[in-house]
Amino acid sequence: MVFYSPGRTTSYPEDHPKKGIRYHCLGGGDEVGNVGIVLEDAKKTRLLLDYGLAPTTPPRYPSEAPQVRDAVITHSHVDHLGMAPWLCANHRTRLHGTGLTAEISELMWHDCHKVSSIEKYPLAWDKRDIDTALESWNIHNFNESWMHNDWKLELKRAGHIPGAAMLNIETPERKILLSGDFDTRDSPLTKGAKPIKTETLFVEGTYGGREHPPLQEEEIKFTNHVQRVIDRGGKVLIPAFANGRTQDVVMRLHKHLPHLDVHVDGMGKRIAKMQMNHPETLRDPQSFKDAWSWCRRVSSKSDRKKALEADVIVSTSGMLQGGPSIWYLNRLRKDTSNAILFTGYQASNTGGRKLQNEGKINIFGNETDIPLEWKSYSFSTHAGHKEIIDFAAACEAEEVVVYHTDPNNARPPLVEELEKNGHIVHNPVNGISEYLGEEFSRSN
Ligand SMILES: [Zn+2]
Ligand SMILES: [Zn+2]
């Protein structure tokens, strides 16, 4: 067990609210990722929603969580569950989530631990705490409610990635819906989230002020681009995140370019197997299986060499931060007919961002020129601006708390439009407690 050291010190007000429902962002209030939100009522019912970290360089960590018996984990991305092992080891917290989220969590925690030791960043938990966390899971199916004191809790499909959930809460005082990371649009892997009538909506605002290009058009542009590179004798490297994007990309390639030889490498292979074990989380389990058995999975050193002869390599890391994608890039960079097609956001201080800005990347400690064509395609599975606005309206939410967002660029356009539509809007700030419901938020 490790004492909490990274990140900010605890800011949680230990007095209990005297009335109403209070929320407090330990992290994720006015930033993307790093989520941890405490909800509490006057009868001392307390619940933690997610407890992650932000895998930036260096990582960011939420404030220390107060003593809390139960935490709901919306999905298996590290910005939502990266700090859960600390929670379970220190507070004996029970984790609640879908079966697939629980299954993938083990991989995500081991990967998080590995990355922190390679990059020498502090982590407030150690490997033994992963075992404690794994024993702390309480599995819930979608649409099956359970009671947390007198709060009724229910997980609802969030889109985003397989197993991702929104949390619907009915307290005697108020109905609350937490979106988690969500998307109302279908992706190849998952069905989009459906609105639920509520009074308070906590909504992620990652894409505030930005609209996604129409998915079908983006998919056609992407697969045409792949084919163009193949036609000129090149190979395509597609760096992709392991948890969701790798599998989405393979399904898109299988649908449009079934004649190609596509090899897949990295953690996405193990995650795909887990996803297949939970067909209830998938939009079309059979077409996922077909796509997955069509591509070749790299599982040995000799496979990796063979993959260099393939048309397309889909591999982690999605941001060219280590992982097999760097190994491939180091070989593919020598032939300028090859290309790199990004399928996700490249954060600052990552290899992918450096390549996009400077045409260079660090490979095994050496700054290396990458004279290859590259292009980014947007296959995000976060709701875009319009989807967020429409979702809030369809939920008929009286008040909307916009969290998991960049407070300077993404949130203001969202707030403006939500207020125009008649919602009362909260702009949570990490470390500051607020009350839900107009009558309470005014008097506190
Ligand atoms: Zn997130
Ligand atoms: Zn996510």
At 9 the pLDDT is 59
3-state SS, residue 319: coil
Å from CA of 299 to ligand 1 middle: 29
Å from CA of 168 to ligand 1 middle: 18
Across-strand partners of 176?
169, 200
Beta-carbon contacts of residue 104 (< 8 Å; ≥ 6 apart): 76, 163, 243, 271, 274
Once rounded to an integer, what is the mean pLDDT over residues 234-258? 97
At 272 the pLDDT is 98
- What's the CA gap between 171 and 184, in Å, rounded? 25
pLDDT above 90 as % of the chain? 88
Q: Is 10's pLDDT higher than 70?
A: no
Å from CA of 285 to ligand 1 middle: 25
Q: Among 78, 167, 87, which residue's Cα sits nearest to residue 135?
A: 87
Please, what's the largest Cα pairwise distance for the chain? Answer: 69
Å from CA of 218 to ligand 1 middle: 23
pLDDT band at 190 (very low <50, low <70, confident <90, very high): very high
Å from CA of 122 to ligand 1 middle: 21
Once rounded to an integer, what is the mean pLDDT over residues 232-251? 97
At 58 the pLDDT is 80
- CB-CB neighbours of 301 under 10 Å: 8
Give the torsion sign (CA, 362, 364, 368, 374).
negative
Residues 417, 423, 428, 434: what is their CA dihedral angle, to the nearest 10 degrees? 160
Q: What would the pLDDT profile of 45-56 be if each residue is shown by its tens digit?
A: 999 999 999 988
pLDDT band at 94 (very low <50, low <70, confident <90, very high): very high
Share the mean pLDDT of the chain.
95
Å from CA of 332 to ligand 2 middle: 30
CB 177 within 8 A of CB 166: yes
Q: Is 142's pLDDT higher than 90?
A: yes
Å from CA of 366 to ligand 1 middle: 32
Q: Is 5's pLDDT higher than 70?
A: no
Name residue 147's amino acid.
Answer: M
3-state SS, residue 59: coil
Once rounded to an integer, what is the mean pLDDT over residues 357-377? 95
| Residue 273: CA count within 13 A, CB half-sphere | 7
At 4 the pLDDT is 55
Domains identified in the chain and CATH numbers = 21-210+381-443 (3.60.15.10), 215-376 (3.40.50.10890)
Q: What would the pLDDT profile of 74-93 be if each residue is shown by its tens digit?
A: 999 999 999 999 999 999 99
At 279 the pLDDT is 97
pLDDT band at 3 (very low <50, low <70, confident <90, very high): very low
- What's the CA gap between 226 and 304, in Å, rounded? 20
pLDDT band at 15 (very low <50, low <70, confident <90, very high): confident
Q: Is 443's pLDDT higher than 50?
A: no
Give the torsion sign (CA, 264, 270, 273, 278).
negative
pLDDT band at 262 (very low <50, low <70, confident <90, very high): very high
Q: Is 343's pLDDT higher than 70?
A: yes
Å from CA of 49 to ligand 1 middle: 12
Å from CA of 314 to ligand 2 middle: 20
At 444 the pLDDT is 46
Q: Omega of the bond prior to 58 within 30 degrees of 0, cis?
A: yes
Q: Is 30's pLDDT higher than 70?
A: yes
Q: What would the pLDDT profile of 419-429 be if each residue is shown by its tens digit?
A: 999 999 999 99
Å from CA of 51 to ligand 1 middle: 11
Q: Is 62's pLDDT higher than 90?
A: yes
Q: Is 1's pLDDT higher than 90?
A: no
pLDDT band at 183 (very low <50, low <70, confident <90, very high): very high
Q: What would the pLDDT profile of 154-177 be if each residue is shown by its tens digit?
A: 999 999 999 999 999 999 999 999
pLDDT band at 14 (very low <50, low <70, confident <90, very high): confident
